[in-house]
Amino acid sequence: MSKKPLKKKSVKTLKKTPLKKTSRVDNKKTSVGELELEKQKFIRLFAEFENYKKRTSKERIDLFKTANKDLMISILPVKDDFDRALKEIDKNENNTDFQGFRLIYNKLNEALKKKGLLEIEDLIGSEFNSEVHEAISQIPSDKKNKGKILEVIEKGYRLGDKIIRFPKVIVGN
């Protein structure tokens, strides 16, 4: 390999510029500006932390409210069976034989209500809302029942503010 000769760089002389003398007023202005900037950063950080605390406490409360969600969903078919059995008992002439059954049903309902489970009621005749109801069928009907719920096939339930099972309905067309 051949070595190339190094070129000599010209050395420039630097001019010495006199340093600016800053006055105390300028120093105070910059320090006040920096202080104000740091103060704004602190306020934003504090507000961000407060929002974080509020958000996490709200999430924790929501978690406690819906902690029983899986259990409630698994109990709903049993509650549906109770409802169907009560309808059949009402058809029977001898209702006194089933008073114990009714007491158990009422206790179960009260316990579920205390835990926040609410039945979505008063559906027949109301307007169909796809965000709250699940339409499984449409049947022809007169003009006044068009778009309204004609029959409820399966009840819907809320746990607190959240719907855990949408009511299955038949809508007039």
As a whole number, mean pLDDT of residues 144-166 equals 90
Phi and psi of 127, rounded to 5°? -70, 140
CA distance 115 to 83: 19
Q: What is the pLDDT of residue 122?
A: 80
Q: What is the pLDDT of residue 12?
A: 52
| Of residues 70, 78, 62, 81, the one with CA closest to residue 164 | 70
Q: Say if residue 8's pLDDT is above 60.
A: no
CB of 168 within 8 A of CB of 134? yes
Q: Say if residue 23's pLDDT is above 90.
A: no
CATH code of the domain occupying 69-172: 2.30.22.10
For the chain, the domains span 25-65, 69-172
Cα three-residue angle 154-156-161, rounded to 5 degrees: 175
Q: What is the pLDDT of residue 1?
A: 52
Other C-beta atoms closer than 10 Å to the C-beta of 5 total 5
CA distance 148 to 125: 6
CA distance 120 to 108: 17
* pLDDT tens, residue by residue, 25-63: 566 667 888 888 999 999 999 999 999 999 999 988 878
The residue ranking higher by pLDDT, 157 or 161, is 157
Q: What is the pLDDT of residue 135?
A: 93
CA distance 64 to 19: 66
As a whole number, mean pLDDT of residues 149-157 equals 92
Instruction: Write out the H or E segment, with its range, that includes residue 100.
Output: helix 99-114
* pLDDT tens, residue by residue, 85-140: 888 888 877 777 788 888 999 999 999 999 889 999 888 888 998 889 999 999 99
Q: Label residue 15 by pLDDT band (50, 70, 90).
A: low
